[in-house]
Structure 1
Amino acid sequence: MTDQDWMAQVRALVGKEYGRVYAWDKVNAPMIRQWCEIMGVAVKQNAAGQAIAPPAMLQVWCMEGPVANNYPPGSTTENPYEVLKLLEGQGFGSVVAVNSELTFDRDVVEGEDLYYTTRLDSVGEQKTTALGTGHFVTLVMDYYSIGAKNGRDEHVGQLLFRVFKFRPAQQPKPAAAPAEAPQKARRPMPGVSDDNRFFWEGAREGKLLIQRCKGCGELHHPPGPVCPSCHSFEWDTVQASGRGTVYSFVVMHYPEVPPFDHPNPIGLIELEEGSRLIAQLVGIKPQDVQIGQKVQVEFNAFNDGELVLPQFRPVA
């Protein structure tokens, strides 16, 4: 297929609209509560006592779940990403500069049934960057609530999805360097800002410091510039006891990334003070970790002492 032929095929798809993709479940209070809990925000209700879904959840309701392309009965069987497959077939298989933009017409509340349709908005002209040559592809997903407006479907929001599909540039092969002794893998360093510097400095001193709002007194972690409860910008810190329980956990088996040991148990720790944080569990076999298990913080140094991390060990 010539360049003109396949690009003409790509251009012919611009403007194409794909059928409905339905949500597996109605907008529901349990999912709203869990989302708000993870994000550290309060659940809001309307005048009728219905839970209001945070706007950023809009895309979540119609996702397929952990099994790819597993959509509810009645959903379209068309592939709205077929243009990406065409580009990949011509060698534009790499991805960079993915961005999503959500806009909202109104809040959605528990009990609503949602679906979305997809339109291929544009395929940009060929663009060459230092990474390679490719095309920007823009898709627009429109979200609707079934029968919400006098029995008719109501438009409630839109997601613009843009991705740069490119063919990597040929990089000159560097001259072979003399063999060197392998470097010992280092732990990745955290991103330190004015909002969280106190936490890492405290760890170096053997202190587990938690951010506290001066306005309402609420503790929250990870640190941020504003209180998620009362939106105050005034805060200080409190030193936690370091005692807590395993609220939840995962065990990382793959991919195996040096210098971490695998399987690698990671816990969501609920501190005595009420806040939670994520940390590595040490001094226990992964199969022995249990929810509700009592743990105690310990501070361990890595990267030749450059990094100090709070980790948690089960209480004997």
Structure 2
Amino acid sequence: MKKILFILSIAVLTFFSCTDEDLIPLKNLDKAAFVHFEDAPDATIGTNTIAELVYAGELVAKGPVASYTLEVYGTLSGTNTDTSVVETYTSFPINFSFTAQDLATLVGVDVTDINFGDGFTFLGTITAEDGSIYYGEAPEVDDVDDGPDIYIPNGSTNEEVYDLTNGYKQGMFFGFLIGCPSESYDPANIIGDYVYTDHYGTPSNVTITADPAIADRYWVEGMYSGWGYPIPNLVYFEVDPETLIMTAPAQEVGVPDFFGFPNLMWQYEAQLFPCATRQIDGVEDMLITGGSLGSGYSPFVPAK
């Protein structure tokens, strides 16, 4: 559940009040088990044709990793496929390489269903040698007493491979988008009304307008943060007309108290796909002073 990634920031505070170590495996924080990239693959893989697509990388283990299960789902034309298991690995490093046909087979679609602007997301689950489980995305667990839901947090920090901005350095939750061949973009195709869905799953009806004074800068109005918090401030992003990469630097959104976290900030990076649709596919990162509340896929879909 993307909406619960922020629990990384509060898990240590709640740990000592919990008694079920199977649900909250946060002991020996400095010796936690990780699988991570030494050199993460690009978040956008450019290709001239879908048939030429190759996504490859190397994952290495850090700490007492017994096994690592990798899963994948596709986001095709804005719709997520089912999540499928790629493989469970017990020896490291892991060298993977997926073609478009490989990915199509994994998620149960025809390769012709994969287009420019589509993406794939990978989730890792680690079982440590002591039986503790570390999740790339925390699953939801119902309370046996029918009270509030209990969430299993991701593992915790091993400073050599974990940091507040990048979490597991993308080794537990990572993915990519299929980039278009090089082509120019038309600013008129960016402005307009969209439905923006943040990585918590909260949709917002937003309007994107061009900055009247600064070329390739655009403003977004009407966004909401996770759990429906309105964002009073307008936020902006800029487009590099050569690479078609859209970036929004960390900027305060005007929410002074987000579940006790001050100075909520929004940061975003995306790839424009003029060869596909006006949809903007990117990853947001919700930040607070000193750390991140989590990041994830967050598209702008043109309003109908």
| TM bracket, shorter-chain basis | under 0.3
CA radius of gyration, larger in: 1
